Structure 1
Amino acid sequence: MVTYRDAGVNLAAAQEAKRRIRHLAQTTFNAQVLSDIGSFGALFRPTFAGATDPVLVASADGVGTKLKIAFLTGIHHTVGYDLVAHCINDILVQGARPLFFLDYIATGRLAPGIVAAIVDGLARACRNFGCPLIGGETAEMPGFYGDGEYDIAGFIVGWVDRPHIIDGKTIRPGDVVLGLPSVGLHTNGYSLARKLFFETARYETDTQVEALGCTVAEELLKPHQCYLPALEPLLGSRQVKGLAHITGGGLLDNLPRILPAGCAVELRRGSWPILPVFSHLVALGQLPEEESHRVFNMGIGMALVVAAGDAEAVSQNLRARGYEVFTIGQIIAGDQTVRLT
């Protein structure tokens, strides 16, 4: 007799993983969640207090090859946090606040402890940023993923009142570009970073690198910053004309996504601190400036476009609440490109 377990699927492990996930997810629930984990679908009753024309904003993303660092180190409780933070930032750029989050975890052999660690990171971020984890999927797929490997994806739904949508349409030459700092690579550029650290420099994950002030693993597992706490008080002010989450494509490819026709961005070199990890990677790979600013965030995780007359007030608002902000450039007449000056 051949069983499902003989084929590589452990139903008992799946049930144990679901039990752990249910407990962690419940810690993120609020009064708008109307169903428990385990239903075929999740029930959520949104409230849009004070909104005149609420609009849903949805996004999906993953963590990319940062997961390889989790595999190498056995540290799995940070990548879930990264996923939630990344997804919140992606809808934040349109002025949206999160409503709820769903996850997808796929692996070759389901290990309840690893799944629970991943979901612990998801739940921690969801609690921190008021975004209930209301459901998801855990798939055991033997023969599809290598031993000890998995992939994760996140799905987020948020909302914005239509009059307060941030879409970049009012951006004009003369506007100012502000930058909020990143804490490291966030979740982008890891394929190149792994090649430079592990193949070019021949580091191990536990190698202490003086230039970084920590081990390679500690640097590469630094969390993806979530900018909702910094920016939420500004969302209804109409002072922010455009927001760009600096992810894959870096400053050079993400800023043009919010520019209207006839506008370009001029970024000033040296106007923000380049984090040591980026300086070290550039030196290891002898990377051209354009390549480094297209692959990595180079120390800026979120960019804001504001009118010149609002730049000081917005900066003071952020600094008064304990957030760093840098004036990194300006909008000029052009063809929706970015140049460094």
Structure 2
Amino acid sequence: MSENAYAKSGVNIEAGYEVVSRIKKHVVKTERLGVMGTLGGFGGIFDLSALNVKEPVLISGTDGVGTKLMLAIQADKHDTIGIDCVAMCVNDIIAAGAEPLYFLDYIATGKNIPEKLEQVIAGVAEGCIQSGVALIGGETAEMPGMYGTNDYDLAGFAVGVAEKVNLIDGEKNVKAGDVLLGLPSSGIHSNGYSLVRKIFSGFDLNTFLPELNAPLKEILLTPTKIYVKELLPLIKENKINGIAHVTGGGFHENLPRMFSNDLAAEIIEGSWEILPIFKALEKYGEIKHKEMYEIFNMGIGMVLAVDAGSAEAIKFELNAFEIGKIVERQDQAVVIK
């Protein structure tokens, strides 16, 4: 099949070449120790022996951005959605006690528009810089008929490494009496957007809501916070007993993942300020207050379980909130008081 015939089917090979050319300058910014090879090979290469790890354990994570992408497409704003994609992967990896090393992305689109895809990849590269990982490869697929002309999907895959002794095993190490510290989120992050979009479906994205003090578009597309660099030193010093990345399912689904079935998380409401966007979602969506904790992060993106004796120092170091404690389980695994 000639290239001209391929183009007639809706696939622009030259545009694909242009995307690769455009993104190289962004990829170079993410290079780190261990990176081998160059962009454009059949696989991304990373030299694990370059790291000083005696008993290496690899931990991987993969995720997408969900229907938050639809808001980015609607707003024609594509330069931050890549940060979300990286964040969803590397935050999971750091929660296991590993240092994220490298990232690969996958973009599928109905029409390859190099300027737009460069913005997406620039966001991915920024997320990699924020988390200290290398962007060592990826794939862009032009799929007319599968996606609309302006549509695209974005997913990613990351790999991290940990010394075996530094792996965080919350089921073994988290105990009654541990203090729970909450690290602030930047907003909704990248979960619950099917509901978010439904709640705000009647609003123009440029609407300035008084309770948010900003255009709706700006608040809803705030990228997910990346916690890697602030948590990694504490993990290497074995100061954290358990970590929960608060994503889809909110507090009730994610916190129990970091401790054993005989324990519970007792959360003190009011120990941190709930962000205005969550109050707006509860108001306009007419959502029961308790249900909000089953859907959203409510302003807390990560929860750490730490020894009571070291909680104050860690709280100060991370600028975190003391939001509760681990107790013996009586009924529910998460209790909001």
Length-normalised TM-score, structure 2: 0.95
Counterpart pick for 1:330 among 322, 325, 333: 325
The yes-or-no answer on 1:88 pairing with 2:83 is: no
- Displacement of 1:313: 2.0
> Which residue is 1:108 aligned to?
110
The yes-or-no answer on 1:177 pairing with 2:180 is: yes
3-state SS in 2 of match to 1:294: coil
Q: Is the 8 A contact 2:107 2:140 kept in 1?
A: yes
Cα distance in 1 for residues equivalent to 2:263 and 2:50: 34
The yes-or-no answer on 1:340 pairing with 2:336 is: yes
Q: Is the 8 A contact 2:105 2:154 kept in 1?
A: yes
Cα distance in 2 for residues equivalent to 1:211 and 1:87: 31
Q: Is the 8 A contact 2:34 2:51 kept in 1?
A: no
Tell me: CA distance 1:306–1:30, structure 2 relative to 1, closer, same or farther (3 Å). Answer: closer
Cα distance in 2 for residues equivalent to 1:48 and 1:252: 40
> Which residue is 2:21 aligned to?
19
1:244-272, CA deviations, whole angstroms, 9 ceiling, x for partnerless residues? 11111111110011111311111111111
1:94-121, CA deviations, whole angstroms, 9 ceiling, x for partnerless residues? 1111111100000111111111000001
The yes-or-no answer on 1:133 pairing with 2:143 is: no
- Displacement of 1:154: 0.7
Cα distance in 2 for residues equivalent to 1:28 and 1:110: 24
Q: Is the 8 A contact 2:241 2:307 kept in 1?
A: yes
Q: Is the 8 A contact 1:259 1:336 kept in 2?
A: no
> Which residue is 2:55 aligned to?
53
| Cα root mean square deviation, aligned | 1.5
Structure 1 segment 29-40 matched on structure 2, within 5 A: 29-40=31-42
Cα distance in 2 for residues equivalent to 1:100 and 1:210: 41
Q: Is the 8 A contact 2:103 2:156 kept in 1?
A: yes
> Which residue is 1:303 aligned to?
303
Structure 1 segment 1-341 matched on structure 2, within 5 A: 3-47=5-49, 49-168=51-170, 169-198=172-201, 202-318=202-318, 324-334=319-329, 337-341=333-337
1:189-220, CA deviations, whole angstroms, 9 ceiling, x for partnerless residues? 1111111112xxx2101001110000110000
Q: Is the 8 A contact 2:264 2:333 kept in 1?
A: yes
* Equivalent position amino acid for 1:101 in 2: F
1:52-99, CA deviations, whole angstroms, 9 ceiling, x for partnerless residues? 311111010011111011111111010001111221111000111111
Q: Is the 8 A contact 1:260 1:336 kept in 2?
A: no
3-state SS in 2 of match to 1:204: coil
- Displacement of 1:336: 6.8
Gaps of 5+ in 1: 319-323
* Equivalent position amino acid for 1:153 in 2: A
- Displacement of 1:128: 2.9
- Displacement of 1:124: 1.5
More deviation, 125-134/331-340? 331-340
* Equivalent position amino acid for 1:41 in 2: G
3-state SS in 2 of match to 1:223: coil
Gaps of 5+ in 2: none
Length-normalised TM-score, structure 1: 0.94
3-state SS in 2 of match to 1:95: coil
Cα distance in 2 for residues equivalent to 1:338 and 1:153: 31
- Displacement of 1:221: 0.9
Cα distance in 1 for residues equivalent to 2:49 and 2:152: 35
3-state SS in 1 of match to 2:60: strand
Q: Is the 8 A contact 1:263 1:336 kept in 2?
A: no
Tell me: CA distance 1:162–1:149, structure 2 relative to 1, closer, same or farther (3 Å). Answer: same
> Which residue is 1:321 aligned to?
none
1:147-196, CA deviations, whole angstroms, 9 ceiling, x for partnerless residues? 20100011000101000101202111111111001111011111111111
Count of residue pairs the alignment pairs up:
333
